[in-house]
Structure 1
Amino acid sequence: MAAAYTPMIQQYLRVKAEYKDAFLFFRLGDFYEMFFEDAIHASRELEITLTSREGGTEERIPMCGVPYHSAANYIEQLVEKGYKVAICEQTEDPKQAKGVVRREVVQLITPGTMMEGRGLNEKENNFIASVTPFSDHTFGFAYNDLSTGETKATLIAEEFTAVLNEISLSGAKEIVVPVDFHEDWLKKMKERTVMTISYEDAIGIQDAYAPLLQSLTQEKLRMTASRLFNYLHRTQKRSLDHLQPVNFYQMDQFMKIDYFSKRNLELTETIRAKGKKGSLLWLLDETKTAMGSRLLKQWIDRPLISEEEIKRRHTLVETLMESFFEREDIREKLNEVYDLERLAGRVAFGNVNARDLVQLKKSLQQIPSLKEIVNSLPNEEAKTMANELDACEEVADLLEQAMVENPPMSIKEGNLIQDGYHSELDRYRDATKNGKTWIAQLEKQEREKTGIKSLKVGYNRVFGYYIEVTKSNLHLLKEGQYDRKQTLTNAERFITPELKEKEALILQAEEKSVELEYQLFTDVREHVKEFIPRLQKLAKKISELDVLQCFSVVSEQRHYVKPIFSTDKKVIIKDGRHPVVEKVMNAQEYVPNDCLMDSEREVLLITGPNMSGKSTYMRQVALTAILAQIGCYVPASQAVLPIFDQVFTRIGAADDLISGQSTFMVEMLEAKNAIVNATQNSLILFDEIGRGTSTYDGMALAQAIIEYIHHRIGAKTLFSTHYHELTVLEEELEKVKNVHVSAVEQNGKVVFLHKIKEGAADKSYGIHVAQLADLPDELISRANEILTGLEQQSEKPVNNTDLPSKPVKQETEGQLSFFEEVSTDNKNSVNSKEKRIIDKIKKLDILDMTPMDALNTLYELHKKIK
C-alpha cells in the first residue's frame, strides 16, 4: 500500500515509523505539516484546521500544519500535555535535490528535555529520570536536568515503593525505562502522575560520556546513568557539552520524607490548590536568583542528617543575620545575576542568542564586588565561599568587547557585534554607511535638478534601490533622464547606472556584514563554551549563597531562633509556631505552643475538639525539624531537637480514586509505611487513625498501633485521636503521655483556646463545631437531644453478661482487682466522676489481651462505672 503513495508521503511514512510515539512535524516549505492520525489528533489538541491533500491514492490524506516561524508555541502546547514532538527538517538544498528533498529528524522534544519556552519554569528543575531494575531486586535510579546539565544517581535496595518515592522527590516529568519494564511498575508510576514514559535499551557507555561516569564505582550505577545519557543523545542529536559529572548520592544521607508525608506537610505545594502558595517553599523563597530558588526546593525535598553540614549552614545564616548591611549589598548584587546554569546549558546546546550572552556578561560583572562583600564577612566559611566565586574575567571581557548592549533576538540579521571588534566587519559597515549617505545625497541632488520636491530614493527587497516620481510630476523629467523600472498606479520608478552600481556595493556590503556577524557570534559562543565547567561551579556557589541569605532574611523577619541539637534525643520546643499558618494569619493572633519529648515522653496522645489546632500543632513540630535540618532557623523562642532520620505523617483524609483505594485503605497504607520503616530516630505524626471504620475496629487499630510504636519502634510520635478511651494508655504504657488542646464553653458555645495543655480532654465538642459550621438550628437542637438520650442510656447499669467473656487479669502484690474494689464500694462507683473512672480503669492489665478484647473491656467497664 505504501508504494501507492507519492514519494514525499512515502518519505514521511518512513520517518514516522521511527517515531511512532511522537507527533512528527514534517517541514514542507514555510510550514511543518502533519498527516494521517497525527493530523487528526493534533487538530484537536491544538485547535487548528484539519484539511486533506492528495497522496497518490484515491482517498485524500488528513493533513494539518503550523507556520515554522510560530511552531514553538504549538510544540510547547503539546509537550505540556505530555506528548513528544519530532522535528523533521530539510537537510538538503531544494535547488540541488534530485527528486524528493532529503529530510531528517533533527531533535525529539519531550517533557523531560525542554530547553526553553514557557514549559520551563525558571524556579523549578525540569528533570528526566531513568530506572533500571536488576536481577538481585535492586534498582538503579538516575535523573538529569538537561537545561542545567546536572545529573544525580543512586542505588535502591528496597521495594519499588522506594523508587516511586525518589521519582516523586525529583519531580521528574519523564521516565526512561527498558522495553521489558514490568507492567505493574509502569502502572504504579502512572498513578503518581508521571506524564511520559519512554524506552531505551542501550546501556553501553559512549566515549563522549565516559568522563561523566568516572565517579561511579558500581557498574549498576554506570549502566543506569548510561541509559539516561544514551536516550538524551539519541533524542537531542547534538553535542551535550554542558552535562556535568554524575553526582552519586545515598538516600540515607538525607532525612527521608516519603511521598505521602511530603504531600501532607505541604512542603513544596499545597494539597488542595496544587500550587506553591501556602507551602513551606512559598514561605521561605526570598531568593534573588532563579537557580537559588531551584536549590531551595532541592534542600527542602532532602533535609540533611549530617550535623556538621547542618551546623555549617546555621553558622553562615547567623553571620548573614548579624551583618545586615553586607547582606543587603549581597541581595542587591544577586538581583543582577541571571540564570547562569541555564545560560551555560543554552550555550552548549547551541540555542543561545545575543541577549543571553549580554545577560551572562552582566551577571559575571557582579561577581568581583559580590566576592569582596562575602569575603568581608566575619566568618571563615564565608571567606572560603568567597574564594570559590570565580568571576570568569576572560568571558566577561570577551563579551564586553564583542556584543552590543541591546542586540536583537535574531542572530542572523546583524547588529550583534560591537564596532571596533573586527576590522573587516568595520569595513563592511563603513561601506554600507557611506553608501546610504550617498543615497541620501543623491535624493537631495535630484530634487534640486528636477525641481520635484516629492521625488524620493527608496528601496525594497524585490526591486532594490529606485527613484520614484509621482505621475503628476512626470512632465518635469527630461526625455531619457532616467531608465524606467516599474510602473505603479500613481507613480513611476526609475533607475540610473550610477544608482545601480551603488546598490550592488551597498547590498554586497550588507550581506557580507550579516554573514560575518553571524560567524563572529558563533565564534564567541564556541569560546564561551570552553568555560562551561567554570560557569557551572560558579552557579552552584551563587545558588548556595542565595539560599543562605534567604534563610537569614526569613529568620530575621519572622523572629526564628537557631536550633540546638540534642545528644539524648530530647525535643524541647518553646513557643513553637506553624511557620506558614503564622504568616497567613496575623502574627499577634497565632497562639504558640510548647512541645516536650524525651525518653519518658516518646508518644504524645493528643485529644481535643475538631478545629482546635491538633493537626496544626503536629505539623508545626515536623516543619520545625525539617527547617532545622535544611539549615534554617526555626519558629520558636527556643528549640532543642534530635536529628531525625525520617518523618512520617498520616494527616487528613482522601480517597485515592485512581488506584481504587478508599480513605481508610489509604490511611492504613500510610500507617503501614511508617510502622514498617520508622526507627527510634524517626518522627511519626498520626492524626485520627482508625476513624474510617467502626468504632471498635478503629479504637482497636489505634491502640495496637500505639502499642507497637511504644514497644517495638521507640520513635518520637504525635498521635491525635477522638477516642477518649485511649487516654488510659498513659497509665499502661510508661512512655505515653496525654496532652490536649484546651477549649471552654461560654453561653452554650465553644471557644477554642488553641493551647496545648497536659492531660486528656474531657470531650470533643462535635455538635458545637457543627454549630460553628452554621448547620440549621433545628438540626443542632435535635443532635443535642439525641446526645442527651445516648448519654442517659449509657449510664444504665449493665449485667455481667454484657461484659467480654475473657476474664480480666487480676492485680498482684496485694492490690485489689477492679471487680473487687467495685464490690467493696457497694457499687457506689457507678456514680463516680471522671477521676474515679481513670483510677479504676488504670489498674487493668490489658497487655495480655488482644486489642479488640482489650478495647471491648475498657468500653463496657467505662459504661458500668458511669
Structure 2
Amino acid sequence: MAKSKSEETPLMQQHKAIKTRYPDAVLLFRVGDFYETFNEDAVIASKVLGIVLTKRANGSASYVDLAGFPHHSLDTYLHKLVKAGYRVAVCDQLEDPKTVKGIVKRGVTEMVTPGVAVNDKILENANNNFLAAVHLHDDAAGVAFLDISTGEFFVAQGTIEYADKLLQSFKPAEVLYAKQQQKNFRQHFGTKFYTYTMDEWIFTATYAHEILLKQFETHSLKGFGVDGLTDAIIAAGAALHYLRDTEHPHLQHITNIQRIEQDDFLWMDRFTIRNLELLGSSVENGNTLLTTIDTTVSPMGARLLKRWLIFPLRDINQINERLDVVEYFIKETDLAKNLSLHLKQTGDLERLVSKIPLKKINPREVMSLAKALQQVCGVKSLLEKVPHPYLAQLAMTMDGCNEILDRILREVTETPPILVSKGEVIQMGIHTELDNLRKIARSGKDYLLQIQQKESEITGIPSLKIAFNNVFGYYLEVTNAHKNKVPETWIRKQTLANAERYITPELKEYEEKITGAEEKILALEAQLFEELLSALQPFIKPIQLNAQVMARIDCLLSFANNAVQFKYRRPHITDGFHLDIREGRHPVIERGLPPGESYVANDITLDKEKQQIIILTGPNMSGKSALLRQTALITLMAHMGSFVPAAAAEIGLTDKIFTRVGASDNLSGGESTFMVEMNETASIINNITPRSLVILDEIGRGTSTYDGISIAWSIVEYLHDMTSARPKTLFATHYHELNELENKHARIKNFHITNKESGNKVIFLRKLAPGGSRHSFGIHVARMAGMPPKLIERANEVLAHLEEKQIGGPMQEQVKHISAPAQKVQLSIFDAHSDTFKTIREMLENVDINRLTPVEALLKLSEIKHLL
C-alpha cells in the first residue's frame, strides 16, 4: 500500500521533494556529519562504494533503505560514483542547525556528472575532461567540446565523418544531444560514449546565440571567428546550458571559444589514429606514440601535447616556427634547463585558476597559485633576454599579475590549511580587529594560568587546576582533601569520586571572551579570504593566457629533449610532393628494444613522378608493418613541429594520412572482417588528395585468395592511375603476384624486407631492398609461435604437395599476362567447341562447389590446366 505524505517523517518529505527534481541522479543528502542516500540511491551507493546497506524507520510502520558516509569523505566517494558512470547531486544543509528550530533547509549545491567534474580525484592531470555536445542537421553536424576544469571551449562544424573523428580524438567523458536525435546519433556514432539527452528547444540557434553572448558579454560572435557556424553554435549553446542546469552558475573562467577548422590540420580519420597507435595500444599497457614522445613536466603541457598529436599543423610557416624554437632550445641548453625548472614548479596553473569562479579553490591552492605566478615571472624574465623573435613574442604575452601576486603573498600565511574553517589563513598585520582577537585567544592560556595561581594562593589549595570540557566549559578542580577550603562564591558543577569541579564568575566571563574571539576570528578570516577571491576574478583571463604559454613552452622543450636524448633530426618541410626519409626508425619500437640492441633503420622515397607506389613484400615478422607505420609516424611528427627519428628527412607538405592495417570485426554492426576492411579502404579511396600519404597493409586477406589478389591488384592500379591525385602509397602484401605490377606501371616499384636462411632457420635482417620477395615463411613463424612439431611437419608435407602440383606456378605465369584495363568485352571460355573444352565443362558441372575445400579447388584447377 502506498504511503501517504503525512505518514512520512519531515526529513523524508524534504528528501522526496528534492529527489523529484533530480530523478536521474544519485542524491547525496547531508544529515549532520553524514551524507545519506535513501531507497534506490542507497542500493547503488552500497554496491558502488562498498558501504553498508541498512534500513531506518520512515514514519509509522515503514522502513527505507539507507547507506551513508562521513561528510569529510565526500571527495573519495564522489569520485567512485562518477567514475562508475552515475550523475550525482550533492545536497547540503543551507542553514546552521544550531540556529534553526525544526527541519534544516537543504538544497542541491552541485551536480557532478562524468563530463562536469572539477574534483582533483576525478580528473586526470594529463587528460582533459571534455563535455561534448552534438547537433545533427541533415548530413552535417555541429560539435562543441568544453572542459569546465580548464575553461577551454572548442567548436567545429562539418560532415558526420568529421564530427565522428573529433569525438574519437577528444574522447569526451560525456556527450549531449537532443532527445529526438537518439536514433540518428546512435546510427552515426554508436553507443561507445556516455551520453545524456536534452529537450529539443535547447538545440535552437536563437537560444544558443543568447546564452553565448551572455556568457562572453559581447554583442556578436564575430570576434571569435565562429559567426555563421550555426550548427556548431547550437552545440556550444547546449553545452553551456547543461553547465547551468547542473548547478554551475559561476563560469567566469570560460572567456573564449575557439574554432577547429578542418583545413588547418593534417587529417587523420579514427582508423588511422587507432592503427598508428597514437593514443591507445593494441597490446595491454603497451606504449603509444603519445607516451613515447611525452616528456613534458607540467599537466598543462601534457594536455596540449596530446592535442598537438591529434591535430598536426598544415601551415608550413607554423611548422617551421615550432622547429626553429626546438632547434634553439637544443643549442641553448642552459636556457632549456632553467625554463624546465620553472615549469616543474608551476603545477597545474590552468586548473588552479579555473577553481576561482567555481568557488572550489582553497587557501592552500591560492598559495600554490601565487607560487605558480612566481614561476611565470621567472619564465617571462628568461624569455625577455632571448634574441629569438618567437620566444620574445611569448614573453610579451605573459603577465606576471604582480598586483594580485603581491597581495596573496602579503595576506595569506606561508603554509595555510586546506580549509578556511581551520583558521590561520590570514597573516598578522592585515586586519586590526583580527589581530586583537587573536591576541585575546592566544593569551587566554596565560591568563587562565594566572587565575589558577591567584586562586591557589587565596584559598591555600596547592593542587588546584583549571581544565575545560564541552559540557560546562572552563572549570576549577579541587581534590576531596581540600574541598573544605573552597570559597562560598564558587559554584559547584560536578562531583567526582576523588574531586569536585567548580566555576567562578571571573572564569565564565573570560570563557565567553575567548569563545567569542575564536568564532569572530573564523568569521573574519572567511570574510577576508572571500574578498581575496573576489580580487582574483579580474586576473582569471591573463592567468589563463600565462598557463597556455607555459604549456606551449613545455611541449617545445619536450621535443628538444627527445631530439637530444634519442638522436632525432630536424625534418625539412617543403611545398613539394616528395617524401624522402633516410635511416628512418619507428619511435615506439625503438624505445622498447632491450638494452644494447639497436633498431635497423631504413630509407624510404616516394614521389609523384617516379616512385609513387611501393609494393612491399617479405616474410611474416620481418618488419613490413613497422616500416609502414614508421613512415606515417615520421611524417606526422614532422607536421607537429617535432624533430624525427631519422638521419635526415625531406617531407612534402601532407594534408591527409590514411592507414588500413590489420583485421577487425564489427560484429555488433553485423559486419565481417572483410566488410570492415572494404569499408575502411573505400573511405580512403574516396577521400584521397594529391598530398595524401596512404598506408595499406595486407588488403584483401579477409576473402578468398583469388578475390583478394584481384581486389588488391585493382586497388594498386586505381591509385596509380588517379590522374587527379597520385597519392604517395606504401602497400605491404603477402600476395607476391602483385610484384608483376612493377612491369606494367611506371611509378610502381617493388621492395622487400631481407632475410637470410641458415639451415632450417630464417634470420630476419629487417633491411629494405629493391625487388620483390617470393616467400612468406609462414610455417617457420608458426614453429616460432610454439605450434606442435607434428602439426608443423604435416604443414610442410601439404606445402610440398601443393608445390609439386604447381599450384603456385601457374598463377605466377597467369598474372604476367594481365594487361592494363581495357574496354569491357564479355567472353566465355566455352566459346570454342573443341573436345577439351567439352571435357572441362563436364568436369565443372560435376563439381559440388558447396563441399569443395580450398585445396581441392586448387587441385581441380591444376587438373584443368594440364588438360589445356
TM over 0.5: yes
1:548 match: 556
Report the more deviating stretch, 629-638 or 595-604: 595-604
* 2:159 is equivalent to residue 163 of structure 1: no
Alignment of 1:263 onto 2:274: yes
622, 637, 641: which one pairs with 1:627?
637
- Give the match for residue 759 of structure 1: 771
- 1:573 aligns with 581
* Contact kept? 1:91, 1:103, Cα under 8 Å: yes
Who is 1:825 aligned against?
Answer: none
Amino acid in structure 2 at the alignment position of 1:369: G
Once residues 358 and 498 of structure 2 are traced to their aligned partners in structure 1, the CA distance between those partners, rounded to angstroms, is: 52
Change in Cα spacing, 1:597 to 1:420, as seen in structure 2 (3 Å) is: same
Q: Is the 8 A contact 1:143 1:152 kept in 2?
A: yes
**Whole-Å Cα distance in 2 between the matches of residues 264 and 470 of structure 1?**
83
> Does the CA-based 8 Å contact 1:696-1:852 persist in structure 2?
no
The alignment status of 1:365 with 2:339, answered yes or no, reads: no
In the alignment, which residue of structure 1 is the partner of 2:345?
336
Q: Distance in 1 between matches of 2:216 and 2:12?
A: 40
Deviations 1:341-389 (A, max 9, x none): 1111111100100010110111111223322222333311111112222
> Which residue in 2 is equivalent to 1:689?
699
Please say if residues 563 and 640 of structure 1, whose CA atoms lie closer than 8 Å, have aligned partners that are also in contact.
yes
Distance apart, 1:745 and its partner CA: 0.7
Partner of 1:746: 758
Q: Distance in 1 between matches of 2:758 and 2:684?
A: 40
The equivalences for 1:418-457 within 5 A come to 418-443=427-452, 455-457=464-466
Task: Look up the match of 2:843.
Answer: none
Residues in 1 aligned to 2:415 and 2:727: alpha-carbon distance in whole angstroms: 60
Mapped pair 1:121 → 2:124: yes
Amino acid at match of 1:646: K
8 A Cα contact 2:805 2:862, kept in partner: no
SS of 1:39's partner is helix
- Superposed CA offset, 1:287-309 (max 9, x none): 12111111111101110101111
Cα distance change on mapping 1:491 and 1:530 into 2, 3 Å = farther
Q: Which residue of 1 aligns with 2:150?
A: 148
Q: Which residue does the alignment assign to 2:182?
A: 182
CA deviation vs aligned residue, 1:711-743 (integer Å, no higher than 9, x gap): 234221111111111111112222221111111
Aligned-pair distance for 1:449?
6.8
Q: Trace 1:308-707 onto structure 2 (pairs within 5 A).
A: 308-443=317-452, 455-469=464-478, 474=482, 477-478=485-486, 480=488, 482-488=490-496, 491-585=499-593, 586=595, 588-599=597-608, 600-707=610-717
Q: 2:48 aligns with which of 34, 45, 48?
A: 45
1:73, CA displacement in angstroms? 1.8
Residue 216 of structure 2 contacts residue 256 of structure 2 at CA under 8 Å; is this kept in 1? no
CA contact (8 A) 1:482 1:495 kept: yes
Q: 1:773-818 CA deviation, whole Å, 9 max, x = no partner?
A: 22222222222122111110116998xxxx9xxxxxxxxxxxxxxx
Query: Cα 1:511–1:700, aligned 2, differ >3 Å: closer, same or farther?
Result: same
Match of 2:841 in 1: none
**Pair 1:79 & 2:79 matched:** no
Post-superposition Cα deviations, 1:601-658, rounded to whole Å, max 9, x if no partner, equal: 1211111111111111111011101110111000100100112111121222333344
2:259 corresponds in structure 1 to 248
Match of 1:733 among 745, 761, 780: 745
Aligned equivalents of 2:181, 2:175: Cα separation in 1: 11
1:244 deviates by 2.1
SS at 1:45 equivalent = helix
CA distance in 1 between partners of 2:745 and 2:366 (Å):
67
- Residues 352-361 or 252-261, more deviating: 252-261
What do residues 295-327 of structure 1 show as CA deviations (whole Å, max 9, x unaligned)?
111101110101111111001111111100111
1:14 Cα shift? 3.4
**Matches of 1:173 and 1:242, distance apart in 2:** 20
Partner Cα distance (1:164, 1:10) in 2:
45
Displacement of 1:771: 1.7
Q: Distance in 2 between matches of 1:696 and 1:240?
A: 62
3-state SS of 1:738 partner: strand
Give SS of 1:361's match: helix
Distance in 1 separating the partners of 2:190 and 2:452 = 70
- Judge which range, 315-324 or 566-575, deviates more: 566-575
SS in 2 for 1:427: helix
Matched, 1:293 2:302: yes
Preserved contact between residue 108 and residue 235 of structure 1 (Cα < 8 Å):
yes
Equivalent AA in structure 1 for residue 529 of structure 2: F
What residue in structure 2 maps to residue 139 of structure 1?
Answer: 141
Moved more, 249-258 or 488-497: 488-497
Does the 8 Å CA contact 1:732/1:842 hold for their aligned counterparts?
no
Question: Quick check: 1:278 aligned with 2:280?
Answer: no
Question: Which residue matches 1:194?
Answer: 193
Q: 1:765 to 1:126 in 2, by over 3 A?
A: same
Q: What SS is found at the alignment partner of 2:355?
A: helix
Extract unaligned runs of 5+ from structure 1: 804-836
Measured after TM superposition, the shift of residue 588 of structure 1 is 4.5
How far apart in 2 are the matches of 1:177 and 1:244? Answer: 24
Q: CA deviation at 1:479?
A: 5.5
Q: Compute the displacement of 1:119 (Å).
A: 1.4
Change (3 A) 1:627 1:480: same
Q: For residues 574-606 of structure 1, what are the alpha-carbon distances to aligned partners after superposition, in whole Å with 9 as ceiling and x for unaligned?
A: 000001111111475210011011122121111
Cα offset for 1:96? 7.1
**Which deviates more, 763-772 or 68-77?**
68-77
Q: CA RMSD in A?
A: 2.9
Q: Tell me whether 1:716 sits opposite 2:734 in the alignment.
A: no
Q: Is the deviation greater in 114-123 or in 456-465?
A: 456-465
Task: Give yes or no for contact 1:697–1:852 (8 Å, CA) kept in 2.
Answer: no
For 1:378 and 1:588, the matched residues in 2 are separated by 41
Matched residue, 1:847? 821
Alpha-carbon distance in 1 for matches of 2:523, 2:256: 36
**Cα distance change of structure 1 residues 795 and 152 upon mapping to structure 2, 3 Å threshold:** closer
- The answer on whether the counterparts of 2:88 and 2:113 sit within 8 Å (CA) in structure 1 is yes
Q: Take 1:680 and 1:658, find their aligned partners in 2: how far apart are those partners? A: 35
Partner residue in 2 for 1:222: 233
Q: What's the CA shift for 1:262?
A: 0.9
- Evaluate the alpha carbon distance shift between residue 861 and residue 518 of structure 1 in structure 2; reply closer, same or farther with a 3 A threshold: same
Q: How many angstroms does 1:852 deviate by?
A: 14
Distance in 1, matches of 2:99 and 2:621, equals 77
State the alpha-carbon separation in 1 of the partners of residues 577 and 358 from structure 2.
Answer: 50
Whether the 8 Å CA contact 2:48–2:84 is kept in 1: the answer is: no
Structure 1 residue 555, shift from structure 2 partner? 0.9
- With over 3 angstroms needed to count, the CA separation of the structure-2 counterparts of 1:187 and 1:93, relative to structure 1, is farther
Asked if structure 1 preserves the Cα contact closer than 8 Å seen for 2:460 and 2:485, the reply is: no
Deviation at 1:443, TM superposition (A): 4.3
Q: In structure 1, what is the Cα distance between the partners aligned to 2:596 and 2:155?
A: 42
Partner of 2:313: 304
| Stretch deviating more after TM superposition (638-647 or 843-852) | 843-852
Mapped to 2, the partners of 1:660 and 1:445 lie a distance apart of 92
Determine the structure 2 residue equivalent to 1:812. Answer: none
Once the 2 structures are TM-superposed, how far is the Cα of residue 198 of structure 1 from its aligned partner? 3.8
Indicate the residue corresponding to 1:32 in structure 2.
35
**How far did residue 183 of structure 1 move?**
1.3
- CA shift digits 1:55-80 (9 cap, x unpaired): 45755333323332222222211111
Identify the match of residue 108 of structure 1 among 85, 108, 111: 111
Please name the residue that 1:817 is paired with: none
Shifted more, 294-303 versus 382-391: the winner is 382-391
Deviation track 1:540-584 (CA, whole Å, cap 9, x = no partner) reads: 111111111111111111111111123331110000000111111
Shift of 1:456: 3.7
What is the match of residue 844 of structure 2? none
Runs of 5+ unmatched residues, structure 2: 829-856
Aligned pair count reads: 819
How far apart, in 2, do the equivalents of 1:272 and 1:844 lie?
41
- Is the alpha carbon distance of 1:465 and 1:265 closer, same or farther for their aligned partners in structure 2, counting shifts above 3 Å? same
